[in-house]
Chain A
């Protein structure tokens, strides 16, 4: 693991729609120059998110809200119960969930279509808040 990798923000992309995941990958690529980051994995529903988070070290979950199996809100509540929860950044086309999102301590709430600058700001906020990164500093 190189130094850059060690410092990189570890991101999990969670969305049930393939085009939405592809878009987030593109956007994250655009952010890479500004902020070192690694895409740990991708999940298609909340259950997969919990499996991946249990297995891998994840700093930030980019979490869609409307997903089959387990939706983003329920996933966020499960994550919040973890000892060292990853930061949650919701990504959704709905603005109706915004208040609920902050009840589950989301770091940010991004409305689709998402701008790269907005995503970068959210990741910066998440990195600053992540306990693992504080430990590294």
Chain B
């Protein structure tokens, strides 16, 4: 379901299963109920009471709507945008009217409410919310282009290129075959790095890039760089922001391994739990080193791109513990359309 993510290719309905989207819907709808309560109140003290009445009507409708919209998202995304909007509005009006017809009498001040009034209110609230998401998607479209620029910035430190070329130069006389292989690795890596990295890529491909990068660093650092991969439980088709892993690994080499005389181990684990993909990276941590400033920039860049692609559904945590630096990224498990 890559359609869920606003990839800049046209505006579409948001993913109503996304926690961030749900939260926004609830906040906007309740803000409107509060505004209505304030308008209807003749004295400030009445606002709370009016809000409770409004909420008693709105909350159940909202929650059932979100559940249905989440369940029906495949159907909605298969429709064209105007048709999908019409479907959402019709669903909301039907739900609200069903709720009023069934339980309206229980509401305090129980004068019967006309269908027209319910429909008008519901259409208004739904329109405001959908307009908000429409504007947000439009606002994010350039942000996705921005994500590409950020991917460019994230891609590599220039010193890596110079140091690698230097290492290859050192091999040309003594071990031409290894020099050839290193140049081939370098070419492959840069082909990927120079490509359009604004979208999502399968995690398996991300791991290939990270491995090629590490093979080149190995040339330079030799036994000082030790890497352990655990990808047995990995959903290879899971989509992640392109160039997510390589900058993390590069960071681990630069800040974790290089400053240590005897080197250290980078451990990378990728696993999936059905709904979620978890990437866990550990590298040695030397307190009081130059770990922080450069580190922060690369990590902030990754965090921003995770947010652009997955909103509140993805998270990234870092912590230093027992001489190790740990980064854990959690993102929703999505795959490319079949």
Instruction: Report A's interface with B, CB cutoff 8 A.
Output: 16-20, 22-23, 26, 44-45, 66, 68-69, 93-94, 111-114
User: Do A23 and B166 form a contact, CB below 8 Å, given A18-B222, A93-B159?
Assistant: yes
Which B219-238 residues have C-beta < 8 A from chain A? 219-222
Judging by beta carbons under 8 Å apart, are A113 and B220 in contact?
A: no
Which residues does chain A contribute within 8 Å of B311, judged by CB atoms? none
Judging by beta carbons under 8 Å apart, are A94 and B159 in contact?
A: yes
Q: How far is the CA of A16 from the CA of B167 in the complex (A)?
A: 12
Judging by beta carbons under 8 Å apart, are A22 and B261 in contact?
A: no
Judging by beta carbons under 8 Å apart, are B165 and A113 in contact?
A: yes
B173 at the interface (CB under 8 A from A): yes
7 intermolecular pairs with C-beta atoms under 8 Å apart: A19-B220, A20-B163, A20-B167, A26-B173, A68-B258, A68-B260, A68-B261
B153-195: CB near A (< 8 Å → 1, else 0) gives 0000011001101110111011000000000000000000000
B259 at the interface (CB under 8 A from A): yes
B234 to nearest A CB, angstroms? Answer: 32
Judging by beta carbons under 8 Å apart, are A19 and B167 in contact?
A: yes
Judging by beta carbons under 8 Å apart, are A113 and B166 in contact?
A: yes
Judging by beta carbons under 8 Å apart, are A23 and B169 in contact?
A: yes
Q: How far is the CA of A93 from the CA of B166 in the complex (A)?
A: 9
Q: 7 tightest A-B contacts by CB?
A: A23-B170, A93-B162, A19-B170, A19-B167, A93-B159, A22-B170, A68-B261
Judging by beta carbons under 8 Å apart, are A113 and B169 in contact?
A: yes
Which residues does chain B contribute within 8 Å of A22, judged by CB atoms? 170, 174
Judging by beta carbons under 8 Å apart, are B261 and A17 in contact?
A: no
Judging by beta carbons under 8 Å apart, are B261 and A69 in contact?
A: yes
B288 to nearest A CB, angstroms? Answer: 14
Q: How far is the CA of A18 from the CA of B174 in the complex (A)?
A: 13
Q: How far is the CA of A69 from the CA of B159 in the complex (A)?
A: 20
Judging by beta carbons under 8 Å apart, are B173 and A17 in contact?
A: no
User: Do A112 and B261 form a contact, CB below 8 Å, given A22-B170, A26-B173?
Assistant: no
Q: How far is the CA of A19 from the CA of B223 in the complex (A)?
A: 12
Q: How far is the CA of A17 from the CA of B261 in the complex (A)?
A: 10
Judging by beta carbons under 8 Å apart, are A17 and B221 in contact?
A: yes
Q: How far is the CA of A48 from the CA of B28 in the complex (A)?
A: 65
Q: How far is the CA of A114 from the CA of B171 in the complex (A)?
A: 14
